[in-house]
Chains A and B, each alone.
Chain A
Amino acid sequence: MKVYRLLLLLGLIFLITGIYLNENWNIFLNARMLCFSCVGIE
């Protein structure tokens, strides 16, 4: 089996696990709340 195929499979498993754990809605949206770090304000 080619390495890239193995990585694609692994990537798909991780992606689905992330969606299953609701990472997108619970964490990515919260991450934006921390964006004052990017602006440079403490």
Chain B
Amino acid sequence: MVRFRAFFQIGALLFYNSNYLFSYEFCPVPGLNCYACPIAGGACPLGSLQHFMVLRRIPFFLLGFFLLIGALVGRMVCGWICPIGWLQELMYKVKVKKIRVNFRPFRYLKYLVLLSLVLIIPFLSGEPWFSKLCFVGTIQAGIPLIVMDQSLRDLIGTLFYIKLGITGITLAAFFFIKRPFCRFLCPLGATYSLFNPISYARLEVAGSCFKCDKCREVCPVDIKVYEEPNSPECIRCLECTSCAHVNLRLGDKKKEKTKEAEQYA
């Protein structure tokens, strides 16, 4: 199943951007996808959340949406059905010198972004500030719309150039660092990450694990799975389950592989 993860990611990208076939913009999509894009089929969960903050209303539907996904699979959305996650993985495959960033406080930046740019600042200022700075909007909507529409080109101001700068820096980081946006900045990932330790689907490491660090090598977010299998950073891509000592656990049931791992020990 894990080897087909890219197909899930491509499928999600096509499904989120299916306005030419069908539209469901009354409903948010689970991954990050800009709904300013002319072909976006569903609503961006972060854009919608900011809209509720601007209106100063409780987002019941979104809260329910996040709770259901988070309680079932935690941050699995990031690993399997987020087009931006897929983009980061693709760009990291380019052969350039890689940088390993393990400075722990960086992890907390995404919670700061969630609290400030997505919740508090839109609530106080009445402007969706995360969307105004979001690089996904620049890639999916800003650049294509401005290339296609002359009237929009005349409206370009400082904000657009700031967005272009943020986009350039973010995209450049994708070549050198493993999933930097997911790990350090994504407020959607921050929301789902809160559910990782308590969700229905969790990871489990067998006691016989000898900490060879193979799981860390294959991990797209560079975590030591044997130290914290249900870390808020884990995107549940299940790449680490290629090791016999790491298993997916659904609720109270264990997969058969745990026994296999114990046999190896």
Residues on A facing B (Cβ under 8 Å): 2-5, 7-8, 10-19, 21, 23-25, 27-32, 34-42
Across the two chains, which residue of chain A brings its CB closest to B128? A37
Chain B interface, >50% SS class:
helix
CB < 8 Å neighbour of B137 from A7, A11, A25, A40: A40
State in angstroms the CA–CA spacing of A12 and B211 once bound together: 40
CB < 8 Å neighbour of B52 from A8, A15, A27: A27
Residues on B facing A (Cβ under 8 Å): 25-28, 34-36, 43-44, 47-48, 51-52, 54-55, 57, 59-68, 70-72, 127-128, 131-132, 134, 136-138, 140-142, 145-146, 152, 155-157, 159-160, 162-164, 195, 198-200, 251
Query: Which residues of A have CB within 8 Å of B160?
Result: 39-41
* A28 → B minimal CB distance (Å): 5
Chain A interface, >50% SS class:
helix
CB < 8 Å neighbour of A40 from B43, B163, B198: B163
Across the two chains, which residue of chain B brings its CB closest to A33? B51
B145 near A39 with CB under 8 A, answer: yes
